A = this chain, B = another copy of it.
Amino acid sequence: MSAEAAGEALGVPPAGEPARRPRRYDPDRRERLVATALDVIAEHGVAGATHRAIAAAADVPLGSTTYHFSSLDELLAAAFTVHAERVAGALEGWMRDVPDQRAALDALARHLADDLLGNERALVLAVELYLAAARRPALRAVTQDWMLRSRRALELHFDPVTARELDALVEGLVLHQFLSTDPMTPEQVRHALFRITR
């Protein structure tokens, strides 16, 4: 029995041809690529979010990324859109489920402590988006929409001026948390929120 015949019998191609992976049925690969892109950005930054890195993390061949997205920018935009949508939706949820301003502040403080400040991944993604948006018009629209939705959500319980100041304060708290080695405690965050509204 020749080596080749043995190889073929096992479905293993001869040594010269390096093995072609069998075709997979993978109907929502596109969505998976978007989700994986977010993972890669969170871990390695936009700078490290290359076609190859994303394809490897999603376990698809390189060509697949350019098949589903006409450019890398388009893939990144899709990813950031998903992220912004998710975070904006969370804040809207909190604000909708709460009866009055007092409860809104409580909810906001809890939301910050639980979903944002403790969540390194969300922090990184937010800052990555901010910076990426500075130079890519397509992403500008994403941040604009996100900011608008956040402010609208806050305006369910606060007047527009307060909502805007609160929004900016939250942004600053998040960013400081991101940068600081000496993060604020949930109580300090609470204190700041209550202080600017009264």
Measured CB to CB, the residues of A under 8 A from B are: 45-47, 124, 127-128, 130-131, 133-135, 140, 143-144, 147, 161, 164-165, 167-173, 175-176, 178-181, 184, 188, 191-192, 195-196
Contacts and interface: CB of A to CB of B under 8 A. Distances in A.
Given A45-B135, A130-B131, A171-B172, 20 more contacts: A45-B131, A46-B47, A127-B134, A128-B131, A143-B179, A144-B179, A144-B180, A144-B181, A161-B191, A164-B184, A165-B169, A165-B192, A165-B195, A167-B176, A168-B175, A168-B176, A169-B172, A171-B176, A175-B175, A192-B196
A47 B45 CA distance: 11
Contacts of A135: 45
A6 B137 CA distance: 54
Nearest to A45: B135
Given A161-B191, A191-B161, A130 B176 contact: no
A171 B184 CA distance: 15
Contacts of A47: 46-47
A172 B179 CA distance: 13
A51 to B, nearest CB: 16
12 contacts: A127-B134, A130-B175, A131-B131, A164-B184, A167-B172, A167-B176, A168-B175, A169-B192, A172-B175, A192-B196, A195-B196, A196-B196
